[in-house]
Amino acid sequence: MINICIGYDPREAVAFSVLAYSIHARATQPVSIAPLMLSQLGGVLTRERHPLQSTDFSFSRFLTPYLSGFAGWSLFMDCDMLVQEDVAKLWALRDDRFAVMVVKHEHVPRETTKFLGEPQTKYEKKNWSSVILFNNAKCRALTPGYVNTASGLDLHQFKWLNDDALIGELPDRWNHLVGYNPPRADAALVHYTLGGPYFAEYAGCEYSAQWRRERDAMLSISAAKKT
């Protein structure tokens, strides 16, 4: 079973649904998908919202190993994404030498705001945490107590590992940053980090047509095939 946690923000509910559909539609192995909804984490995630926190899942992502019982592997991804290839190919890249595996972006935002006027922050390892393969047993530092009290930089810069050698690298096709990375036709996972095509101001962004096709396919009702 491929265990996936997806960040959830009610303002981007349609993004979560389309992403989950895009995963299931292409997967060749059983997949379990759980939304990280704050309404379901009330007794676990208790930290107050930070002024620079742009989404509901800025910190809940780091509860993935805990919610997985610190066993096996789990995959986290932001909701503002579209998967265009079999997620089993990403899952197959797991390497037990590492505690986490990410795309190691060199991402320095040029703007100060993003979707819905939310603040855009700059820090080292920006967007590394938007797709994370967690080797859960090696992430035991991520207890609810730690996730609720650690600084944002300590969490997103993986300082809780105490060793960057424990951070494995994924191919950049598995976290293509729309609007930052050069356009490419072979992105396996598209990340609408500035804002997805479900927002009017980003309706014409790269891979917007693909997202709308995926949404339409999800909503379509096909007649049963006659035998």
Output the domain CATH number for residue 147. 3.90.550.10
Q: How many CB atoms lie within 10 A of CB 46?
A: 12
Domain assignment of residue 117, yes or no: yes
pLDDT band at 46 (very low <50, low <70, confident <90, very high): very high
Mean pLDDT of 49-65: 86
Domain assignment of residue 227, yes or no: no
Domain assignment of residue 7, yes or no: yes
pLDDT by residue (tens digit) across 149-202?
A: 999 999 999 999 999 999 999 999 999 999 889 999 999 999 999 899 999 999
Domain assignment of residue 195, yes or no: yes
pLDDT for residue 143 is more than 70: yes
pLDDT for residue 51 is more than 90: no
CA 190 to CA 176: how far, in whole Å? 5
Whether 16 and 81 have beta carbons less than 8 Å apart is answered as: no
pLDDT value of position 124: 80
Domain assignment of residue 144, yes or no: yes
pLDDT value of position 49: 82
Domain assignment of residue 226, yes or no: no
Q: For the chain, how many structural domains are there in total?
A: 1
pLDDT by residue (tens digit) across 105-116?
A: 885 656 555 555
pLDDT value of position 38: 94
pLDDT by residue (tens digit) across 70-84?
A: 999 999 999 999 999
Whether 188 and 174 have beta carbons less than 8 Å apart is answered as: yes
pLDDT for residue 227 is more than 50: no
pLDDT band at 120 (very low <50, low <70, confident <90, very high): low
**33-39 LR contacts (CB < 8 Å, sep 24+):** 33/4, 33/5, 33/6, 34/3, 34/4, 34/5, 34/6, 34/67, 35/5, 35/6, 35/7, 35/8, 35/79, 36/5, 36/6, 36/7, 36/8, 36/60, 36/61, 36/63, 36/64, 37/8, 38/8
pLDDT value of position 18: 98
Please list the residues that pair with 77 across neighbouring strands. 6, 131
pLDDT for residue 5 is more than 90: yes
Residue 36 lies in domain? 2-219
pTM: 0.89
Domain assignment of residue 225, yes or no: no
Percent of the chain with pLDDT over 90: 79
Domain assignment of residue 101, yes or no: yes
